[in-house]
Amino acid sequence: MAGAKRCIGLDLGSHSVKLAEMAIDRGGIRIVRMLSAPVTVGPDALEDERNAAIVAAVRGLIKEHKIPTRRAVFGMPGHTVFFRRIRLPRAPGPRLRQIVHFEARQLIPFPLEKTMVEFQVFDTEEEREVEVLLVAMKKETNQEFMRLIRRIGLRPIGITASTLALFNGQEIHRFNVKEWEEKSQSKGLLAFGKAGPKKAKKKKAKKGEEEPEEPVEEEIDEDIEMMAGGGFEEVRAYVNIGARTTELAICKGGGSETIGFIRPIPLGGNHVTAAIMKACKTDTFTQAEQIKLQQAACLSGIYEIEADTEKFNAEACQAATKVCDRLVAELRRSLDYFISQPDGVAVDLIVLSGGAAEMAFLASYIEERLGLPVETPRALGNGQIKTPSQYGEDFDYSPYRIAVGLAAQGLGISPVHVDFLPADIRATRDVSSQYAELAALAGVIGVMIFLSAQLGSGAEQNYRRIIDTLPQQVEQRETERRNLDEANRQRDRVTEKTQLLAQQLSAKDYWLDLMLQIQNIKPAGMLLTQVTCQPDRENPKIGQITIRGEAEQQAAITNFVRYLPQQSPMITNASLAILEQGRSTYFNKQISQFQLLLRVRTPQGRGRAVLTRLPRPPEIEHQAEPER
C-alpha cells in the first residue's frame, strides 16, 4: 500500500466512532487530531439504523472540526475476518502467490470463489522458509462495508481488520522515526526541500575565545532504541475490549514485527451491560449502562482491600464479574494455544485498552486470574511522534489505539499492511499516485529543458567561436547540437501528452461526479439498467439524462424521483416517464420497471454527454429463488 502524506484512520465501533488523523511533513511524523463521537442507537437497533447513525456521527465530526483531509483507512470488525499464520517454502512472488492460494483453499472454511484473500510475507530465521499472515474475508461482507463507506463520503485508500489495526496502533511505541527518516532519505522517498533537514549551524569562535560545543542531538528514548535494535524480548498481548467484541493480538519476541497470534473474542461491554440490566432489573439498556459506568466493578482482591463498598452496587458487581470470568477464560484459552505452537512462548505482559476496559478493578481482576502483569497505558509511548499542544500529558490515548493503527497504515509506517480495498478502487488509488508522480516528473523535465534553453543562446556563440577557431572540432559540436534538438522534441511531446491528458480528465470529471451522486442517492433495493446522457443542441449548458431501472417497491421509485433534485445541485428537474409492472430480466420475480427523465446543468467546456449502457448479464435459467 503506497503511503499517503496525510491520512485519517476511522474506527467505526458500535458504541462510538473514533477518528485519528496523522501526517508526514517536514517536521516528521505527527498526529494532527484525535476525535470521537457517540453512535446514538441502542444495541438492538437494526443494521440500517446503526449504519445511518455511524454515517451521521462521522459527518458531524468532519463538519464540526472542518477537517480538510479526505483520504481515510477504515477498520472492519475482527469477527468478519479469517486469520491464519502459516510457514511456506521461500519462492519468487508469482510462485509464492500460487502456493498461498492453494493453502487458502485448504484452510478457509468458505468457498474461495466468494472470498477475498490477502496475505503478507515476513522473513524468518530459516533460509528456505517464510512466514505468511493469511487473511480472508467474504466478498459479500466487503461489499456491504463499501456501501457504508460510500455513504460517509470520504475517499478510501485502505481497509483492514480492527484486530490488525490494534496491533499496528500498539506497536507504534516501537517505531523509530529517526531510523525511518534516514532510510527514507537514502532511498529518496522523503523530500525535505532544497535545504534538506534542518541542521544546527556551528558558529566559528572568535580569536582568543574557546570554540563552542557542538549541539547535542535529541536523545532517543532508551526503550525505543533497544526495541529498534532488536533487543526487545518482551512478548505482549494487546487486548482491546470494545462494546460487542474483544480484540486480541499477541506480538512475537526478539524485536520481530510479525504477529504471533490474533483472535476476536465475541464478548464486550454490551454483554456486561446486559447482565447488569438483568440482575438489577432496569427498564432500559441506557439505565444499565449508567450503572456499569458509575456503580459496577470486578470483585478482585484489590477491590476487597481498596474499594468503597458503599459506592458500588453489589448486584451489578456480581453480574459484571461473571461476564469478566467468561472473558478471562477465553483469554486463557488463547494464550495456551499460542504457547502450544512450535514457535510459541509465554506472554510477559497484557496491555489493556478500549472503552469497556475502564471498568473499575478490571485490570487487577485479569491480572489475578491469569497470573500476568496487566497495564493500561494512557500515553502514546513514542516521544518521536509529535502531538498537538492541546493533548497534554494527561490525555488518554488508549481509546484511539485502533484509529491510530489505521492512520499509520495509510501513511505506510505500520508493520502489518493487509488491505481489503476492492481491486477497482485500489487501481484508481494507484493510478492517482502515478499521475502525481508523472506531474512531478514532467515538472522536473520542464525545468531542466528551460535551463538548457537559457544556456543554449550563450553556448551557441561559444560554439561558433570554437568552430571558427578550431574547425577540427565541428563534428563533435554538431553532435551536441543534435542532442539539444532531441531534448527539445522530447519536451514538446511531453507537453502535448500532458495537455491531452488534462483535457480528457476535465472532460469526464463532471459526468463522473454526477453519476456518483445518483449512485449515492439510489436506494439499495433499486437496480439501474441503462443510463443515457444527451446534450441540448440549442443550449450547451443544459443536458438530459434518461435512466431506466427496476425496483421491488414503487415507493422506492417515487422517493428516488423526489429526492434527486434535492440532494444533487446538478439536477434541475426529475420526472417519472414510465412506470409499469413486469418480470425482472435479472431476477426471477415481479418488479416495477420505470424510466426517469432528468434535466441537468452542464457547465460549458467541462464535458459532453455520451451514451452509456450497463452490461446485460447472460441469460440464466432459475430453478429456485436466487440468493439476495
- Res 221 pLDDT > 50: no
Q: How far is CA 498 from the centre of its chain?
A: 31
pLDDT value of residue 390: 82
pLDDT confidence of 366, banded at 50, 70, 90?
A: very high
Least confident of 344-348, 376-380, 457-461: 457-461
pLDDT confidence of 55, banded at 50, 70, 90?
A: very high
In what order do the strands lie in the sheet containing 115-123? 81-89, 129-138, 115-123
Considering 137-151, 555-569, 602-616, the range whose residues carry the highest mean pLDDT is 137-151
- Res 503 pLDDT > 60: yes
Q: Which of 122, 28, 134 is nearest to 411 (CA)?
A: 28
Q: Which residue has cell 438489577? A: 280
pLDDT confidence of 194, banded at 50, 70, 90?
A: very low
- Res 538 pLDDT > 60: yes
Question: pLDDT tens-digit profile of 145-193?
Answer: 999 999 999 999 999 999 999 999 998 888 888 888 887 776 655 544 4
CA angle 312, 313, 318 (to 5 degrees): 110
335-358 burial: b if 16+ Cβ within 10 Å, else e: beebeeeeebeebeebbbbbbbbb
Q: Which of 252, 51, 239 is nearest to 152 (CA)?
A: 51
Q: CB–CB of 84/260 below 8 Å?
A: no
What would the grid cell of residue 164 be? 490488525
Percent of the chain, pLDDT > 90?
39
What would the grid cell of residue 63 be? 463538519
pLDDT confidence of 49, banded at 50, 70, 90?
A: very high
Least confident of 85-89, 295-299, 468-472, 598-602: 468-472
pLDDT value of residue 453: 57
What's the DSSP call for residue 485? H
| Antiparallel, parallel or unpaired: β 246-251 and 236-241 | antiparallel
How many CB atoms neighbour CB 450 within 10 A? 11
Whole-Å CA distances, 195 to 28, 192, 198, 330: 15, 7, 7, 55
Looking at every residue in the chain, the average pLDDT score rounds to: 80
pLDDT value of residue 623: 40
Q: CB–CB of 485/493 below 8 Å?
A: no
What would the grid cell of residue 543 be? 443536458
How many CB atoms neighbour CB 100 within 10 A? 19
Q: What's the average model confidence in pLDDT over 27-34?
A: 90
What would the grid cell of residue 235 be? 512478548
pLDDT value of residue 579: 82
602: amino acid identity, one letter: T
- Alpha-carbon distance 418 to 405, whole Å? 12
Least confident of 72-86, 257-271, 422-436, 505-519: 422-436
What would the grid cell of residue 418 be? 493487509
| Antiparallel, parallel or unpaired: β 155-161 and 71-76 | parallel
Write the DSSP string, 492-509: HHHHHHHHHHHHHHHHHH
pLDDT value of residue 75: 92
Considering 58-62, 122-126, 176-180, 523-527, the range whose residues carry the highest mean pLDDT is 58-62
Q: Which of 167, 178, 333 is nearest to 256 (CA)?
A: 167
Least confident of 272-281, 345-354, 503-512: 503-512
pLDDT value of residue 515: 81
What would the grid cell of residue 19 be? 477518528
pLDDT value of residue 224: 42
Q: CB–CB of 300/320 below 8 Å?
A: no
Q: CB–CB of 81/105 below 8 Å?
A: no
- Res 613 pLDDT > 80: no
Q: CB–CB of 24/3 below 8 Å?
A: yes
* 3-state secondary structure string across 364-431: HHHHHHHCCCEECCCCCCCCCCECCCCCCCCCCCHHHHHHHHHHHHHHCCCCCCCCCCCHHHHHHHHH
Mapped onto helix, strand or coil, the DSSP state of residue 34 is strand
The H or E element spanning position 169 is helix 162-170
Least confident of 54-58, 82-86, 184-188, 238-242: 184-188
CA dihedral (37, 42, 47, 51) in degrees, to 10, reads -20
The H or E element spanning position 9 is strand 6-12
The H or E element spanning position 452 is helix 423-469
| Antiparallel, parallel or unpaired: β 349-353 and 236-241 | parallel
pLDDT value of residue 527: 87
pLDDT value of residue 573: 85
- Alpha-carbon distance 576 to 557, whole Å? 9
